[in-house]
Copies of this chain bind each other. A is one copy, B any other.
Amino acid sequence: MIANSDQYEREDLVVPEQEKATVIFQPSGRRGQVDMGVTIKEASITLGVDIEGICGEKATCGKCKIRIEVGAFEKYGLESRLDSISPVKEGDRKYLNEQQIQDRYRLACQTDIIGDLVVFVPEESRTGKQVVRKAAGEITVKLKPAVRKYYVELAKASLEDTLGDFERLTEELKKKFKLTGLTIDYQALLSLQKLIRQGDWKVTVSVWQGKEIIKIEPGHVKKSYGIAVDVGTTTVAGYLCDLTSGELVATESMMNPQVVYGEDVMSRICYTMTNPKGLEQLNQTIIKGLNQLAGRAAVQAGIKRNAITDMTIVGNTCMHHLILNLDPAFIGKAPFPPALHHSLDVKARDLGIKIAPGAYIHVLPIEAGFVGADNVGVLIAEAPHRQDKMELVIDIGTNGEIILGNRHRLISSSCATGPAFEGAEIRYGMRAAPGAIEKIEIDPETKEVRYKVIGNEAWNTDEENLGTKGMCGSAIIDIVPQLFLAGIIDRTGRFKKEFDYPRYRVVDDQCEYVIAWAKETSIDQDIVICQDDVRAIQLAKAAMYAGAKIMMRTLGIDKLDKIILAGAFGSYIDKKSAALLGLFPDCDQKNVYAVGNAAGDGARMTLLNTDKRREADRMARKVEYIELTLAEDFDRVFSQAMWLPHMKDKFPNLEHLLPGKKETT
């Protein structure tokens, strides 16, 4: 990106095209050359420095604060000057006060580089290594993989028998295994002659769907491998399975490397729309990630990566499109039609995925613009369509997806929860990484707090300084009901102003409650929850609740038999906190289940059993997608759901926990 003169107030900032600037990032010391005119955020991506950022460079999250270091050549090896950046913009002023601007703080996404520069990334802006919580659940599925191995011994070609290698092979496969009409992958064909002779006319072939030979190996090879992958917006998990036994032989997970381009789905879609090569970049980034994941899983299992002959992938609609290199622009705006719903079998080499080159990648179907293949994975794993009980399945990822129904009818919808549960839009929100508060309790009497930090066994009450940096999702789910039960906020979420205790204060006309004092943190600031934060959490939970409500009305029911909390996030939140917050309608607590990464489980089931692939395609089309915002009274349903836990609904299962009504209104 080259600086345009009209981007700046002063004409003299125009820089010559194509010139390069040298940038050094501290404290990592990472350095390199970037094009003049790119933002510091873009430079950080280019140079592999992770800077927080959730908004896709739209200056709406304020997470990417950095400081410009100014100094002479001696200190940094280059002349770093304040006029090497663009002037302060409006976006900076939204998140930085005058003192900070004076201290050379800026937002990395708002600051253009127009000269050599040293940039300091403060700890709170560094992307920590997320605690990846996508362990594999127990699954039970009949073994019926797409790829099977067959071993044959062939008669050597002779002058009396000059049959071609392929026909020699297929005739033997027909004779011995009754396989007919086999075709061969072009890449496999290229290796055929050599490997047949290498194996002294004894070979093992991998056959896909009983139709196509996709791999040839010399001699007798018994084991066969496939990998199921769940591509989340934030986390990618891979489950390497032995296709001959169904056994899980390796689990690998990693941050979705696309995170540097924006933390949520919308900011990534936005990135592809505003950058000419954005789609290609995001596609290549995740493909590279999948290759790393498969490579690591193979190493863990002690096999070669090209021994992997099958792969299934689930992911939300945006991930689905980005993996397939399909433009996500149309799923980013109304009416949100995806490029396709059906599952897709694409050659690994067409996608650039480095497993056996003849292998197919099976990408699961998607239901609708916002209900993706990950939700289909959940469907396959939880199978509400096989049950009589009225079941609500909530997948709380970066997007909220809901399925409601039973064997008679299933409906789905997508809620615009926003990224609040993931820590965005919350002043001290962060991802589940070391230093994040993951659990909060407030004493209703003293209004004092007790919290636990990821990476520490102890609670804050047992230890002085836990290196706290912020709150992750499970703490965000805890905090509002805790404030409510402690009487600090009322049923509408408003701070009660009549109290006076040390943790309560008003800053810039806004009430806030101090969770951790600066001295307990590693960022040297009080970690607080303010009125705006509470509102953001209410908006998120109300979206979820309203969605469930409208869906229940659509099916004509007023009671849920069972609630499934799917998604890694669902496993870590406190069920009671979620119920008290009013994330979903009333249900007996013992019928609320956290099932972990059900999407990943579904991916594994389709890897091991092709019937499940057909079931996925059938169910993806059968589930009726409900566009919630089309409901006439959506606004009313939504605003009632803003209350804690709800303005009007009864919660017989929570009544013993809720304060009497007279106290709380």
Contacts and interface: CB of A to CB of B under 8 A. Distances in A.
Contacts of A351: 186
B340 A167 contact: yes
B194 A159 contact: no
Given A157-B337, A167-B342, A326 B189 contact: yes
A369 interface: yes
A152 interface: no
A327 B338 CA distance: 43
A502 interface: no
Nearest to A361: B186
A511 to B, nearest CB: 39
Given A189-B326, A346-B186, A350-B186, A337 B165 contact: yes
B325 A190 contact: yes
Interface string A152-185: 0000011111111111100000000000000010
A193 interface: yes
Contacts of A194: 327
A334 interface: yes
B190 A326 contact: yes
A162 B326 contact: no
Nearest to A328: B193
B342 A166 contact: yes
Contacts of A341: 163-164, 166-167
Interface in A314-344: 324-327, 329-330, 334-342, 344
A140 to B, nearest CB: 31
A123 interface: no
B340 A189 contact: yes
B162 A625 contact: yes
A368 interface: yes
B189 A338 contact: no
B158 A192 contact: no
A296 interface: no
A161 B194 CA distance: 53
Nearest to A629: B159
Looking at chain A, what size class is its interface with the partner chain?
Answer: 35 or more
Contacts of A334: 159
B193 A339 contact: yes
A340 B162 CA distance: 11
Contact of A335 (B157, B166, B337, B347): B157
A643 to B, nearest CB: 28
A166 B340 contact: yes
Contacts of A350: 186-187
A324 B189 contact: yes
Interface string A616-633: 000000000101001000
A337 to B, nearest CB: 4
Nearest to A169: B340
Contacts of A190: 324-326
Given A159-B627, A337-B163, A337-B165, A193 B347 contact: no
A339 B163 CA distance: 9
Contacts of A335: 157-162
A415 B287 CA distance: 52
A452 to B, nearest CB: 43
Contact of A339 (B165, B187, B339, B347): B165
Nearest to A347: B186
A279 to B, nearest CB: 10
Interface in A598-618: none
A192 B321 CA distance: 13
A193 B162 contact: no
B186 A338 contact: no
Contacts of A347: 186
Interface of A: 157-168, 184, 186-187, 189-190, 192-194, 324-327, 329-330, 334-342, 344, 346-347, 350-351, 366, 368-369, 625, 627, 630
Closest 7 CB pairs of A and B: A166-B340, A157-B337, A164-B338, A164-B341, A159-B335, A164-B340, A186-B350
7 contacts: A159-B335, A164-B337, A164-B339, A165-B340, A187-B350, A189-B339, A193-B327
Given A162-B627, A189-B339, 12 more contacts: A158-B335, A159-B627, A160-B630, A162-B337, A162-B368, A164-B341, A166-B339, A167-B340, A167-B342, A189-B326, A190-B324, A192-B340
